[in-house]
Amino acid sequence: MLSFRDEALYGRGLMNLLLPLIPLKKNSAWLLALSFLACPVIGFAGQNAAPSSHLVFDDNLDGHIIINEVRVPKEGEAKFTYYETLGWRGRAAGYAGLQAHPRGHNYIFSIWDHKSHAAPIRAVYRGAGTITEKFGGEGTGLKSWNFELGWETDTWHTLALRYWPLGDHSFYGYWVRSARTGKWTHLVTMDVAAKGAFFQGGTDAFIEDWLETGQRQRTVNFRRGWKRKVDGQWHAFGSGRYSVNFWDLEKGKRSFNFRTNWNAGTSRDETGAFYFMTAGGRKTVPTTANPSRHEIQRRAGKPGYAPIKLRSAKLSVQTGGKLTVSWENDPATLPQFSFALSLFDKPSTQGVHLARIEKVQPHARQADLMLPEGIDLKRIIVRLQCRDILDNQSPVLSLRLPE
């Protein structure tokens, strides 16, 4: 029986994984080639896939934020590999991670449909280069990918997910950060028509070869994982349970020819301690058991990323009595989660506001305030404050119209 975490290989199906390779003008030759490629996985499995491996962390509790850092060493990159970094259970189960795809280095984020959903999952925001589409197989849902941003080998990448409620719906935002550039990017926000669908279970990371290329070694590193519980307290990932899919190692099954070529544990370099998993490669030998538990001591009480900082903002008056406020945030600081705008008559900036907007809208960088009739534009002042995805508040910016 396949678990939800094996959907990367089986549930979503090889056709979904290879869809970005198909030319815009599809032809029968391409589809025939893909059908032959799909056969070894879907119904006539070979025995040459690298063993599918999991590292499930010790955060078996409900939460609304999960974070993990992932790195693929240059010698550990192999095409047709999914380096899943964040996987969770619940009524909106899903996962996010890196993919070494023939088309390039891809960021993946997917959520499964569930019988409790009142409507199809939809993307309410797509960042530059992000594409979304439905997937099928053993389960259905909505997936996103982004080749345009790309990820790099030998570089730590932070992946962060946040859930928030809106009426009877659950929203999920996906952000990534490269340690090389130090910049955060908001890739997608998805809307699930279900109430209170938190991140449940122990957060899962896995490494998976979806096209039977087990002769190539693939390695992935993880560190500094976090979950914020529903009560607001932070839980640092202190250990992880490593396992290899034993049902794939039997004779006639997809990883039989590489049944002893896997390994995992902890290590350390100049960046600090990290977990590693390796699958495939004929020289790979285990130095641990299947299953086994591995630990890294954590001392920090919460994530240490730089809190949100507003870079600039401006006001402009539009026809129809609207005041437009636009702003930019420093991409090297934590991404925006919400914003608040308050309009005051200049002498009363500490008193009652004349108009106010407060929204959870991570992608917004502009909003309109309605001006009261007859207001003296020279007297108005707008106060802007943003909150980041970890709930740090930015300093307040006070804005006036240019003279």
The larger pLDDT score, comparing residue 209 to residue 7, is at: 209
Report field, pTM of the whole predicted structure over 0.85: yes
Instruction: Write down the pLDDT at residue 40.
Output: 37
Q: Of 1-5, 75-79, 346-350, where does mean pLDDT reach its minimum?
A: 1-5
**DSSP code for 22:** S
Contact present, 27 and 201 (Cβ < 8 Å): no
Residue 278 or 17, more confident: 278
What residues are paired with 241 via a beta bridge? 56, 293
pLDDT at 319: 87
pLDDT at 348: 64
DSSP track, 153-171: TTS-EEEEEEEEEETTEEE
pLDDT value at 33 more than 90: no
Amino acid letter, residue 351: G
The CA distance from 259 to 261, in Å, is: 6
d(CA 195, CA 200): 14
Closest CA to 109 of 63, 71, 68, 145: 145
- Residue 12, pLDDT > 50, answer no
Residue percentage of the chain with pLDDT more than 70: 88
What's residue 45's pLDDT? 55
Burial label, 192 (beta-carbon count in 10 A; 0-12, 13-18, 19+):
buried
Are 342 and 367 a contacting pair, CB within 8 Å?
Answer: no
Partnered with residue 283 across adjacent β-strands are: none
Domains of the chain: 4-40+48-295 (no CATH), 310-399 (2.60.40.10)
Burial bucket for residue 383 (CB in 10 Å: 0-12, 13-18, 19+): middle
Evaluate if residue 11 carries a pLDDT over 80.
no
pLDDT of residue 349: 64
Q: What is the pLDDT of residue 352?
A: 85
- Name the average pLDDT for the chain: 90
Looking at per-residue pLDDT, the higher value among 365 and 352 belongs to 365
- The answer to which of 112-121, 179-188, 189-198, 338-347 has the lowest mean pLDDT is 338-347
Query: Does pLDDT of 346 surpass 90?
Result: no
Q: What does each C-alpha distance from 92 to 159, 165, 197, 295, 313 come to in angstroms?
A: 18, 13, 6, 29, 36
Cis peptide before 291 (omega within 30 of 0): yes
Convert the pLDDT of each residue in 114-164 to its tens digit. 999 999 999 999 999 999 999 998 789 999 999 999 999 999 999 999 999
- Say yes or no to pLDDT of 108 above 80: yes
Output the CA–CA distances (angstroms, integers) from residue 371 to 42, 351, 381, 403, in the order listed: 61, 17, 11, 18
